[in-house]
Chain A
Amino acid sequence: MNLHEYQAKQIFAQYGIPIPRGRVAANPAEAKQIAEELGGKVVVKSQVLVGGRGKAGGIRLAKSSQEAEELATLILGMEIKGLPVRKVLVDEAVSIEKEIYLGITNDRSSRRPVLMASAEGGVDIEEVASRSPEKIIKILIDPLLGLREYQSRDIAVSIDLPKPFWRSFIALAESLWRVYRESDATLVEINPLVITKDQRLLALDGKMSIDDNALFRHADLAEKRDLDIEAPAEIEARKYGLSYIKLDGEIGCMVNGAGLAMATMDIIKLYGGAPANFLDIGGGAGADKVAAALRIILSDPHVKAVLINIFGGITRCDEVARGILSAIGEVKPSVPMVVRLVGTNAEEGRRLLADAHMLTAETLVEAAQKSVQVALGGAL
């Protein structure tokens, strides 16, 4: 789960990381009010969860509160990469001497957190990483020891930070580490961290991603989820504990298990079709969950056929069959469905579905071939 810049910076500030004065506004009048309080010269920043806000014209400098109001009107009417701008952050404008990058993320291959810093902040860090990887300094952190002071000092030296800033930089890095640890973040990033003309360190921008699996111990953070970035069907699926991702194809898929769900999508492609979604009903799904899954799949108007592939282990095929019957009784689908049930209680499941006018398949290949054929309008 990703947080907005203003949310991330509020959390940074709680941990003592210096951020610019400013507040978030939902309308132009509020933006004007905030700009007046800050003395007129402000930056108006769109709050959307995509990169490239600046390039899209979503971050603008205002010289007066009047101009801040005008820019807020403009930006609040924008869509950036398909996402509507619902809020703007109005921050005091500062004079910048130097821009630094500082972030902590999970390094999957070393199985540790990694602290990253670069003297070339302010731009897309992935661009720096591919163009000149030696300009990004990385230090692995032992999860049992935490970030040590010497490591932050090494970073300060490596990015040629002037000596007078070392002490505040080390404190800031320690604070960022605590944000990462105590929020169960998978990414905390300050880009840019600036040295201002009046010789202060300031976190001008902020980014945070939180581990979805850890939200049970962060109710306050879970509330901050922005539903704009998710398709309505994905939000509906999460309510039922289903893992659903919408894709562009025409064959809806319902599968138990993430790996098998991907393999089912792949084999549809192999036989000339395209999957309309990824959908994992998980292990041991009951009839209610299955019915919800089928409703979600059928709510996609592009779906021309449905492939249900269940390998019963903990999941019982008869339960799946009951869920299918309940959903088709309610939705009355007009598209053909291919069902493959294998494993626990598969015979019982097949018997339940015998009168439901569904196509059946024994093997994965047969299931894929049949669903592609009926989706393309062929008869079987």
Chain B
Amino acid sequence: MSILINKQSRVVVQGITGHEGSFHAQQMLAYGTNVVAGVTPGKGGEWVLDGKVPVFDSVKVAVEATGANVSVIFVPARFAADAIFEAADSGVPLIFCITEGIPVQDMMAVRAYLDQKGVRLVGPNCPGALTPGEAKVGIIPGNIAIPGDIGVVSRSGTLTYEVLYALKLHGMGASTCVGIGGDPINGTSFIDALSLFEADPYTERVILIGEIGGSDEEKAAEYISRHMTKPVVAFIAGQTAPPGKRMGHAGAIIEGGSGTAADKIHALNNAGVRVARHPEEIPALLQG
């Protein structure tokens, strides 16, 4: 079982006729995800993916026609904030934004607006979520994970795949894997995901994959020590990253001496979290 998404999720893909959107909508569908609609302004009335999915001009119309309750956004960065506002205003309660490179001031406005509306955003600049055997929303390759009882939450993309793959090689599976994204300002935080995993009866253990920059891992550590009964294992990327340099992700930067991997590992260790030295060590820590 799962958090956030499952077999029942009804997914609308914003930007479904674009290069990325159409490819990944196809992949989601092939995985068994309930992709009910696509949105591309100007292409309403068309059917895509071998005539299986109807396209609408707006999210509002798509929701009215199909009852979509999850949106996934693949539109280019300059249009992404608007796409998020549109989904929120159309009554979609859960939005995944895959798009990378959204201006930070756009995201500040998005977050402030969504908080008022009570809408949940995952991302941006994230791989989405995968509930193995049920559904995937976003770009995580479906074949690298098997169903299981481990919740995975991560700020990264391919690093998360690496961890899922290492689990699979050890015969270990995931309840849900959620990528919260590498931007400095995002929707769902580590704490949000941890609290969902803590409440999910099918999740027994949790893996947290963090990286340098900001203080979300430190806040998560405090939350874990106070509220989590389920064991948590972590990995933090960026121990060799130099200060002041943006390591690919907009949020992965050590600023003014804070946000280092050492600080985060220290905080997590103090919260009773075992921190792996490298991704392939995680399965052993979970078993130990």
**Contact at A144–B113, with CB atoms within 8 Å?**
yes
Q: For window 86-140 of chain B, which residues contact chain A by CB distance below 8 Å? A: 101-109, 111-113, 127, 139-140
Residue in B77, B165, B245, B261 whose beta carbon sits within 8 Å of that of A342 in the complex: B165
Task: Indicate whether B156 reaches chain A with its CB closer than 8 angstroms.
Answer: yes
Task: Indicate whether B184 reaches chain A with its CB closer than 8 angstroms.
Answer: yes
Q: Chain A binding site: helix, strand, loop or mixed by DSSP?
A: mixed
Minimum C-beta distance from B69 to chain A (A): 25
Task: Indicate whether B148 reaches chain A with its CB closer than 8 angstroms.
Answer: no
Q: Known: A262-B212, A343-B161, A344-B141. Contact between A267 and B278, CB under 8 A?
A: yes
Q: Which residue of A has the minimal Cβ distance to B248?
A: A258
Q: Known: A108-B185, A257-B156, A259-B154. Contact between A266 and B240, CB under 8 A?
A: yes
Most chain B beta-carbon neighbours within 10 Å: one of A144, A258, A269, A270? A258
Task: Indicate whether A34 reaches chain B with its CB closer than 8 angstroms.
Answer: no
Question: Which residues of chain A have C-beta atoms less than 8 A from B66's C-beta?
Answer: none
**Contact at A263–B237, with CB atoms within 8 Å?**
yes
Task: Indicate whether A348 reaches chain B with its CB closer than 8 angstroms.
Answer: no
**Contact at A258–B156, with CB atoms within 8 Å?**
yes
**Contact at A258–B182, with CB atoms within 8 Å?**
yes
The CA-CA distance from A359 to B111 in the complex, in Å, is: 47
Tell which of B39-47, B56-64, B249-257 binds the partner.
Answer: B249-257
Q: Known: A257-B159, A278-B241. Contact between A181 and B165, CB under 8 A?
A: no
Most chain A beta-carbon neighbours within 10 Å: one of B107, B141, B162? B162
Task: Indicate whether A27 reaches chain B with its CB closer than 8 angstroms.
Answer: no
**Contact at A259–B160, with CB atoms within 8 Å?**
yes
Question: Which residues of chain B have C-beta atoms less than 8 A from A136's C-beta?
Answer: none
Task: Indicate whether B215 reaches chain A with its CB closer than 8 angstroms.
Answer: yes
Residue in B101, B184, B211 whose beta carbon sits within 8 Å of that of A262 in the complex: B211
**Contact at A113–B242, with CB atoms within 8 Å?**
no
**Contact at A259–B249, with CB atoms within 8 Å?**
yes
Q: Known: A258-B248, A283-B157, A364-B279. Contact between A184 and B112, CB under 8 A?
A: no
Task: Indicate whether B158 reaches chain A with its CB closer than 8 angstroms.
Answer: yes
**Contact at B280–A259, with CB atoms within 8 Å?**
no
Q: For window 287-338 of chain A, which residues contact chain B by CB distance below 8 Å? A: 311-314
**Contact at B241–A265, with CB atoms within 8 Å?**
yes
**Contact at B159–A263, with CB atoms within 8 Å?**
yes
Residue in A211, A262, A313 whose beta carbon sits within 8 Å of that of B237 in the complex: A262
**Contact at B280–A365, with CB atoms within 8 Å?**
yes
The CA-CA distance from A271 to B160 in the complex, in Å, is: 21
Q: Which residue of B has the minimal Cβ distance to A364?
A: B280
Q: Known: A144-B113, A259-B237, A311-B161. Contact between A245 and B141, CB under 8 A?
A: no
**Contact at B278–A245, with CB atoms within 8 Å?**
no
The CA-CA distance from A108 to B106 in the complex, in Å, is: 14
The CA-CA distance from A368 to B165 in the complex, in Å, is: 18
Residue in A142, A211, A313, A314 whose beta carbon sits within 8 Å of that of B104 in the complex: A211
Task: Indicate whether B247 reaches chain A with its CB closer than 8 angstroms.
Answer: yes
Task: Indicate whether B205 reaches chain A with its CB closer than 8 angstroms.
Answer: no
**Contact at B141–A261, with CB atoms within 8 Å?**
no
Mask, B197-233, CB within 8 Å of A = 1, is 0000000000001011011000000000000000000
The CA-CA distance from A126 to B256 in the complex, in Å, is: 8
Question: Which residues of chain B have C-beta atoms less than 8 A from A313's C-beta?
Answer: 127, 139-141, 157-158, 161
**Contact at B162–A261, with CB atoms within 8 Å?**
no
Most chain A beta-carbon neighbours within 10 Å: one of B127, B185, B245? B185
Q: Which residues of B contact A (CB under 8 A)?
A: 23, 77-78, 101-109, 111-113, 127, 139-141, 144, 154-162, 165, 182, 184-185, 209, 211-212, 214-215, 235, 237-242, 245, 247-252, 256, 261, 277-280
Could you show 21 A-B contacts with beta carbons less than 8 Å apart? Answer: A106-B184, A108-B185, A142-B112, A213-B102, A214-B103, A217-B103, A257-B157, A257-B158, A258-B211, A259-B252, A260-B158, A260-B159, A263-B237, A265-B240, A266-B261, A270-B277, A275-B240, A278-B241, A343-B165, A344-B141, A365-B278
